Structure 1
Amino acid sequence: MQATPSSFRLAYVPGVTPTKWVRVWAERLPDVPLELVSVAAGDGTETLVSGAADAGLVRLPVDRALLSAIPLYTETTVVVFPKDHWLAAAEEVAPADLAEEVVLHPLDDTLGWESVPGLPAFERPATTADAIELVAAGIGVLAVPQSLARLHHRRDLTYRTLAEVPQSQIALSWREDRTTDLVEEFIGIVRGRTVNSSRGRGAQPAENPAAPAKQQQKPRPKQQQKPKRPASAGGRARGGAGASGGSGGARRGKPRGR
């Protein structure tokens, strides 16, 4: 009998919120704790390949030679700027609107630009968090997935949707050679499979074909009604209502002497 693993380790990158899937996991596999492993934006692949996590919610692309991946959703790209910036008057921003703006490009960028719009900064910030601090200082603006804009929310900053630019895509990824029952279970959860349709160990076992089947009760045959006897020539029926008297019944005779 295979021993139950002590836990399932799920890596996730900044901006990803795995709460709903963790909740479903706890309901289906209460005997296997799910351990969340927070990793930096660019460390998802390394974490999975090294075995530090069983699966991960990461941003594409990943190394497909080593990892399997199921795309889950695409994130909206936004541009972050101070609340008093002139861009705050727009409902949506286009790349051309940033032509005269310094657009920060952190080293942990998640958008994979071919050409960053706007003017380049003197130096690239090391992280998105560092870039947010520079935006707050009025150094420039920053294009990021909306989830990261929310993660680094500040009262003095706001953002607008940035149209016609690269977008980040979140995927569930794991090592190809480590597709365990628990990995299959988590795949089923993120894909919305029910318990019975899941391929992992949370699936309900099928009925044992060798077990005796429950004896089904045969439906009772309908009771056939006896055919009514034809009425006598005088219009009387033997027994029943016709023999009990009434307007159509025969008169009773005198009782026989004893």
Structure 2
Amino acid sequence: MTGPDATPSFRLAYVPGVTPTKWVRIWNERLPDVPLTLVAVSAAEACGLLRGGGADAGFVRLPVDGADLSAIPLYTETTVVVVPKDHVVAAVDEVTAEDLAEELVLHPLDDTLDWERPPGRPAKERPATTADAIELVAAGIGLLVVPQSLARLHHRKDLTYRPLAGAPESRVALSWPQEKTTDLVEHFIGIVRGRTVNSSRTTAPDPAAPQAKAQGKAPAKAKAQAKRPDTAGTGRKSAAGKPGARNPRSGSGAAKPAKRGKPRRRS
């Protein structure tokens, strides 16, 4: 159903390495009547899926191709090199591209890093996927450089990884078609950005809140006005016993005559 009576739903795409669990949980807490469906997609196909309407929004890897897609950068990943546990690289805390100069470094076709020139010696053939490259590393055929989340995704007991200094980094972003920025998309943007329920752009304000706030301030305002000096006309104070106050005995508000000083003695 696609008509006005269709049940609302939200489709969220995500590329390998991204774990949307936290955001999905918050969505289910705030919009329990709107089911969220996860759509797994490769990094290369993510933008096409969004353009084709296969998802309302998605976690993608930058850069996003085309100006028709909006993108909010979320975080940047550490780049690591995946090696067998008994490899010499496993003995250090961090490596550089120069350290891999003599190593066979695999460069899969679905690589998400924007290399000007990949480190190490290239293999004769490029593996089709990162998963295939991981299998080759486990077999002792080369090393693999990937974002850290992909190393975790393809974790094996016989493999480990170390940070690679000076390598390109992969950035993850939330993206969606600009012309389809619906209320549900705005809701999800708010969740990803950490907005609370009350601060969400799509949450209607409570009409009673401003009135209650004004009522709560009224007594304090009245007290402040009562304590404010009477400045009408003369600027005189209105407290009893002060200049300008009414004399309780005479009933008049006139000021008392000033006392004369002691007459001077003539010489």
Fold conserved between structures, TM > 0.5: yes
- CA distance in 1 between partners of 2:94 and 2:117 (Å): 20
Deviations 1:7-33 (A, max 9, x none): 100000000000111111111111111
**Letter of the 2:181 counterpart:** T
**Letter of the 1:28 counterpart:** R
**Letter of the 2:122 counterpart:** P
TM-score by length of 1: 0.79
Q: Is the aligned partner of 1:178 residue 2:198? A: no
Match of 1:54 among 40, 53, 56: 56
Match of 2:24 among 22, 25, 34: 22
- CA distance in 1 between partners of 2:125 and 2:48 (Å): 27
TM-score by length of 2: 0.76
- Report the alpha carbon displacement of residue 194 of structure 1 after superposing the two structures with TM: 1.1
**Letter of the 1:111 counterpart:** L
- Report the alpha carbon displacement of residue 214 of structure 1 after superposing the two structures with TM: 9.6
Give unpaired runs (5+ residues) of structure 2: 224-267
- Report the alpha carbon displacement of residue 204 of structure 1 after superposing the two structures with TM: 4.2
- Report the alpha carbon displacement of residue 63 of structure 1 after superposing the two structures with TM: 2.0
Aligned pairs, number: 219
- CA distance in 1 between partners of 2:212 and 2:90 (Å): 72
Match of 1:189 among 188, 191, 207: 191
Runs of 4+ with >2 A deviation: 2-6, 211-221
- CA distance in 2 between partners of 1:215 and 1:77 (Å): 57
Where does residue 205 of structure 2 map in the other structure?
Answer: 205
**Letter of the 1:146 counterpart:** Q
**Letter of the 1:93 counterpart:** V
Match of 2:80 among 64, 68, 78: 78
- Report the alpha carbon displacement of residue 42 of structure 1 after superposing the two structures with TM: 1.0
Match of 1:90 among 89, 92, 99: 92
3-state SS in 1 of match to 2:34 = coil
* Structure number with higher helix proportion: 2
Where does residue 246 of structure 2 map in the other structure?
Answer: none
Cα 1:159–1:215 change in 2 (3 A) is closer
Matches within 5 A, 1:1-40: 5-40=7-42
Where does residue 247 of structure 2 map in the other structure?
Answer: none
Work out whether residues 195 and 204 of structure 1, in 8 Å CA contact, stay in contact via their aligned partners in 2: no
- CA distance in 1 between partners of 2:212 and 2:131 (Å): 64
Q: Is the aligned partner of 1:68 residue 2:66? A: no
- Report the alpha carbon displacement of residue 206 of structure 1 after superposing the two structures with TM: 3.2
Cα 1:184–1:85 change in 2 (3 A) is same
- CA distance in 1 between partners of 2:215 and 2:164 (Å): 66
Where does residue 146 of structure 2 map in the other structure?
Answer: 144
- CA distance in 2 between partners of 1:110 and 1:142 (Å): 12
Where does residue 230 of structure 2 map in the other structure?
Answer: none
Cα 1:213–1:170 change in 2 (3 A) is closer
Q: Rg larger in 1 or in 2? A: 1
- CA distance in 2 between partners of 1:54 and 1:126 (Å): 28
Instruction: Tell me the C-alpha RMSD between the 2 structures.
Output: 2.5
Where does residue 235 of structure 1 map in the other structure?
Answer: none
- Report the alpha carbon displacement of residue 109 of structure 1 after superposing the two structures with TM: 0.3
- CA distance in 2 between partners of 1:192 and 1:123 (Å): 44
Work out whether residues 103 and 118 of structure 1, in 8 Å CA contact, stay in contact via their aligned partners in 2: yes
- CA distance in 1 between partners of 2:196 and 2:5 (Å): 24
Give unpaired runs (5+ residues) of structure 1: 222-258
Q: Is the aligned partner of 1:164 residue 2:153? A: no
- CA distance in 1 between partners of 2:213 and 2:192 (Å): 36
- Report the alpha carbon displacement of residue 66 of structure 1 after superposing the two structures with TM: 1.4
**Letter of the 1:205 counterpart:** P
- CA distance in 2 between partners of 1:53 and 1:118 (Å): 38
Q: Is the aligned partner of 1:113 residue 2:103? A: no
Where does residue 130 of structure 2 map in the other structure?
Answer: 128
Deviations 1:177-214 (A, max 9, x none): 000001011111111111111112xx2433069x9999
- CA distance in 2 between partners of 1:199 and 1:63 (Å): 27
- Report the alpha carbon displacement of residue 41 of structure 1 after superposing the two structures with TM: 2.1
**Letter of the 1:119 counterpart:** R
